[in-house]
Amino acid sequence: MKKTNISNLLHSISVLATLRVVNGQTTCNGGLGRVVYERLPDQQLQGFDDDVVRDSAPPFRVLEKCQELCLRDRTATNNLVRACTSFDFQPGSRIASFSGAAEYEESTCYLTREQAQPEGIGNLMLVPNSVHFTEVCLGCQYYAS
């Protein structure tokens, strides 16, 4: 897959992720705002992986799962409460298949309670084909009720 196709896929996924969160019921700032994710392409938070999700489902499904776990502050394996404020996503590429069914390499998410500076103590590093998502609280004037 060409780099532009991967970039386009990641952009589409992040738009869908943001729309899904905005349309959800997750509020912040005492109900005056809604949680959305800021998308930082080719970035990854260094050294703060609290939980890992690995799945060979289509990348947008894995991203939805990671987003849901982070929004609901749940762990991937045992559904325990765990604070989450950001995650890194590495989509799996589509694999050529003779059966005609779409198959994908494993996609991976690294969920964490930490955020990058200046909001947190983490440092972002350049990692091609990775996208960092961090929670942001948008005020009511930025979304439609």
Helix axes 59-71, 3-22, angle to 10 degrees: 40
More confident residue, 98 or 143: 98
> What confidence score (pLDDT) does residue 9 get?
52
> What confidence score (pLDDT) does residue 80 get?
61
- Whether 107 contacts 63, CB under 8 Å: yes
More confident residue, 23 or 116: 116
Task: State which amino acid sits at residue 68.
Answer: E
> What confidence score (pLDDT) does residue 132 get?
94
Most confident of 9-18, 80-89, 129-138: 129-138
Q: Return mean pLDDT, the chain.
A: 78
pLDDT over 90 for what percent of the chain?
A: 34
What's the rounded mean pLDDT across residues 103-126?
Answer: 89
Terminal alpha carbon distance of the chain = 39
All residues at 6 or more sequence positions from 27 whose CB lies less than 8 Å from its CB, including other chains: 33, 34, 35
What's the rounded mean pLDDT across residues 125-136?
Answer: 93
Please tell me the pTM assigned to this model: 0.71
Q: What is the pLDDT of residues 28-48, one digit of tens each?
A: 777 788 888 899 999 999 887
The domain 3-142 is placed in CATH, from the list 2.60.40.10, 3.50.4.10, 3.40.50.300, 1.10.645.10, at: 3.50.4.10
Scored b (16 or more CB within 10 A) or e, 74-83 reads bebeeeeebe
